[in-house]
Structure 1
C-alpha cells in the first residue's frame, strides 16, 4: 500500500468531493494525501480558484485531515492548429505527473464519474472512433510511471452531489463550462437534457457500452499483437504476409504496426487508405505524421525524410583505411568502416578515397565474373529502393569502390586471407 496518494484537484465539485473523501479515508489508514492543482491560465478567475483551493486545503489540514497542497501554472500556448482542449489536456497530465512524482506519489486519483464516461463515449462516437476510442476512459491505467485511477467512474453524479451536501463542502464553478465553443459543453447543454428526456437510462447504458468496448478493444489489440509478431521485423512490415491475413484482421494489424513506428497519433484515414492501396501497388510512398511510409519489395517502412539539398555536396577526400564512423552532415548521414573476414576491400583502396555525388555514367560490378553495368540497371536488378540509393559514392582514383545500396565493387574485393574492410552508409 502506498504511503501517499495524489488527487487531481481543480476546485470544482467533483474533485472537491473526491479530495475530501480521500483525505477522510487516508486519515484512518495513516496515509498522506497530496492535492495537485493545475493553473491553466485560460480564464480570469483561475487565480481565485487557486487561492480558494489552497485556503480550503489549509482549513482541512488544521482540522486534522492529512492534506498537502501543490500547484503548477502552465506555460506556453496551443500550437498553431491545435485545439485549446487538446493542449490543456496534454499539458495538464504532464504537470500532474511531475507534481505527483515530486511528492513521492505513484498513484493519482481522478474525479470523473459515470456521466463523464457516457459523454466521452458519445463524443468519440461522433468523431468516428473505433473500439479503443469508444472504450472512453479506463478505470485504471499505468502511464508515465504512475497509476492513474478513477474510483468514481461507475458512480452517478447524484451521489457526488449528495456527498457535497452532506459534508457542506464548497467548490468553484468554472465559467468556461458555459462556453459552447467546446464540444463537450455543447453536448452537455444542448444534447444531454433531450437525450435523458427520451431515454432516462441513457447514462447507465452508455457507460455499459464503454465497458464492453474496452473489452473488445483489449481483445482486438491482443489479436493484432499476435498477428504482428510474425509480420514485423525491425520496424518493417511484411506486406505479402499481411495480405494473407483474413480481411477483418488486416486493418487492426496495420493500425497496431503504425502505432509502433509512428510516435504520433495515427489518422484513421491513413489506416483505411493503406488497407485499400497496399494490395494493389508494388512501390509507393504515403505521407504520414512526422515522415512518410515507403513500400518497396513488399516491405513497408516508416522514415523521416531528410531535407533535400539544393546542391550536391562537393567531392571530399578522406582516409577510410581504419575502422570507425565518419560523420558526413553535408550528405545527411555517416559512413561506417568495419573490419571483416571476407567480402571487403583492401585498406589500400581506401587510404586516398574520395566521396563523390552520383553524376551519371558510373558502372558497378556485382560479382568477380559479372559484367560491369550502369548503376541504374544494377539498382533495378537488385531491387534497391530509390530512397536507399542516397549517400556518397566512394572512389579510389577513378575506380568506383563502394555504392550505398549495392556494396563493394567486385573489382576491388580483397583476396582471401587479406586484411579487408567493409563500408556501410548510415542515413541520419
Structure 2
C-alpha cells in the first residue's frame, strides 16, 4: 500500500477520523471538527468500485472545506481466489488506518459505527455460532498497537445521525455496494430491520451484556490460570476438577496465549483427555500434547538445524534462533563447567545411542531413559546437545552432564536451556554474542 503524505499539526496530537465519505463518517468528521479538536481525515481507497477515485477526491474536498488535514491510502493487490472480498477489504482498511494515524502522530482514531452496526454484528456473529467474544461485537474503546480505536456513536441510532447530517446540510456518498445482496450484512439489512424495526435497540443491548459476560469470564480465567498454569503447562488434572463451564473457560484462555483454537478443539480435548494419558491434538500453528496430566503447546516443528559450533565460555544469554531457544551461561561455585571446555562446543541434534549422567553419584543412563526420568516430554528430546569433542557436555531441557563437571576450586560456569517462551522474562542486557 502507498500512502500520501500526512500534514503534521503542531501543538497537540490530532484526532484521526476514519472517513469513507458516507453518511455516518461525514457526520462524525463534521461533529469532531466542530468540537475544536485538531482533526485529520483518513480515507482508504479500496479500488473495488469504478467511482473510487471520485470518492477519494470528494473526501479530500470535504476535508479541506472543514479545515481538516487529509490523508489517503490506496490498497494494493486483490483478495486471493475464493477469499472473502469483505474480509480482505476490512483487513487492508484496518492496516491502512493504523499506519496513517501513526504517521499523523495521532493516538486516537474515531470510527462512525452506530447502534445498528452493533446490532448487525451481534446477529451475524450469533449465526456463525460465535462465543462470548464474538457476541460482544464491537468495543466502544480498544487499544491496538499504540492506537486507541474509539466508536463514540455506538449507542446512537442511525436516524439520529441522518437527522444531524440533514440539519447541517452535509453532502455524502451513497455506495452502491451497500445494496448488493451478495454481502451478508446487506442481506441482513434488507430483511431484518423491515421485519423487526424495533429489534435494533434490544440486539445492541444484548451485545453490551455479552461484553460484560466476556469480561467476567476473562477475570475468572485469569484467576484460575494463576493457580493452574504456567506459560508452558496447563494442569489438566486440576482443571478437570472445575465445573465443566469453568474448565472450558480456563482452557480457552490458556490456548489463546498460543493459538487461535476453534471451539471444536476445546470440546474434543475436554472429552478425550483421561488422567495419565499421553495424547496429541493438531492445532493452528502447532500441536497440543497431554503428558503426565499436563497440557503443553509445541509450535510447528521446524527442520532439524545442521550441526554447528558455539562458544559459551563467557556468562550471558546465547540465542539459538534455529532451535527456538537460548543457552544461558552463569557463573557458579559448583557444579559447573570449566570455561576452557566451552570455547569450541559442537551443537547438534540427538542421533540415538547417547548416554547421560545427571550427577557424579548417579548411574550413567541412556539419554532416552534420562529424559523419561526427568519428565522431559517426548517432543522436547531432540536437542540441541552440546559436545566437547566426543564428551557430552549439556542437553537442552536436562542440563549439564556430570562427566564434564570442572574440578573443585576451578572457575566454573553453569549452562541451562531456555525455550523461546521463557526468553522475554530475561533482561535484554544478558544477551551475549554467540
TM-score normalized by the length of structure 1: 0.84
Q: In 2, Cα distance between the equivalents of 1:390 and 1:157?
A: 60
Which residue number in structure 1 is paired with residue 248 of structure 2? Answer: 251
Which residue number in structure 1 is paired with residue 26 of structure 2? Answer: 16
Which residue number in structure 2 is paired with residue 299 of structure 1? Answer: 294
Encode CA deviations 1:338-389: one digit per residue, 9 max, x unaligned: 4322122344655665455544333222233333222222222222112221
Q: In 1, Cα distance between the equivalents of 2:130 and 2:416?
A: 44
Shift of 1:193: 2.7
Q: In 2, Cα distance between the equivalents of 1:98 and 1:237?
A: 37
1:267 partnered with 2:262: yes
1:40 partnered with 2:46: yes
Encode CA deviations 1:72-104: one digit per residue, 9 max, x unaligned: 212234467653222322221222222223334
CA 1:103 to 1:306, structure 2 compared with 1: closer, same or farther past 3 Å? Answer: same
Which residue number in structure 2 is paired with residue 175 of structure 1? Answer: 176
Shift of 1:129: 1.2
Q: In 2, Cα distance between the equivalents of 1:48 and 1:162?
A: 25
Encode CA deviations 1:235-293: one digit per residue, 9 max, x unaligned: 4323333233232211222222222334xx44222332333334456333332222333
1:49 partnered with 2:55: yes
Which of 394, 410, 426 is 1:418 aligned to? 410
Shift of 1:215: 1.5
Q: In 1, Cα distance between the equivalents of 2:400 and 2:240?
A: 35
Q: In 1, Cα distance between the equivalents of 2:226 and 2:299?
A: 24
Shift of 1:49: 0.8
Which of 208, 224, 230 is 1:211 aligned to? 208
User: Is residue 286–residue 301 contact of structure 2 (8 Å, CA) maintained in 1?
Assistant: no
What SS class does the counterpart of residue 222 from structure 2 fall into? helix
Q: In 1, Cα distance between the equivalents of 2:309 and 2:105?
A: 56
Q: In 2, Cα distance between the equivalents of 1:50 and 1:317?
A: 57
Which residue number in structure 1 is paired with residue 16 of structure 2? Answer: 6
Which of 353, 363, 367 is 1:371 aligned to? 363
Q: In 1, Cα distance between the equivalents of 2:127 and 2:281?
A: 27
Q: In 2, Cα distance between the equivalents of 1:151 and 1:328?
A: 47
User: Is residue 306–residue 332 contact of structure 1 (8 Å, CA) maintained in 2?
Assistant: no
User: Is residue 243–residue 279 contact of structure 1 (8 Å, CA) maintained in 2?
Assistant: no
What SS class does the counterpart of residue 292 from structure 1 fall into? strand
CA 1:360 to 1:72, structure 2 compared with 1: closer, same or farther past 3 Å? Answer: closer
User: Is residue 346–residue 420 contact of structure 1 (8 Å, CA) maintained in 2?
Assistant: yes
Shift of 1:4: 3.8
Which residue number in structure 1 is paired with residue 386 of structure 2? Answer: 394
What SS class does the counterpart of residue 261 from structure 1 fall into? coil
1:209-358 matches, cutoff 5 A: 209-262=206-259, 265-280=260-275, 282-309=277-304, 313=306, 321-323=313-315, 335-347=327-339, 349-350=341-342, 353-355=345-347, 357-358=349-350
> Structure 1: any 5+ residue segments left out of the alignment?
none
Which residue number in structure 1 is paired with residue 189 of structure 2? Answer: 188
> Structure 2: any 5+ residue segments left out of the alignment?
1-11, 421-434
User: Is residue 349–residue 382 contact of structure 2 (8 Å, CA) maintained in 1?
Assistant: no
Shift of 1:136: 1.2
User: Is residue 326–residue 335 contact of structure 1 (8 Å, CA) maintained in 2?
Assistant: yes
Q: In 1, Cα distance between the equivalents of 2:51 and 2:231?
A: 51
The structure number with the bigger radius of gyration is 1
What SS class does the counterpart of residue 165 from structure 2 fall into? helix
- Range with bigger deviation, 290-299 or 374-383: 290-299
User: Is residue 13–residue 107 contact of structure 2 (8 Å, CA) maintained in 1?
Assistant: no
Shift of 1:70: 2.1
Shift of 1:11: 0.8
Shift of 1:127: 0.8
Which residue number in structure 2 is paired with residue 151 of structure 1? Answer: 152
Q: In 2, Cα distance between the equivalents of 1:123 and 1:201?
A: 18
1:360 partnered with 2:366: no
CA 1:259 to 1:353, structure 2 compared with 1: closer, same or farther past 3 Å? Answer: closer
Shift of 1:125: 0.2
Shift of 1:184: 1.0
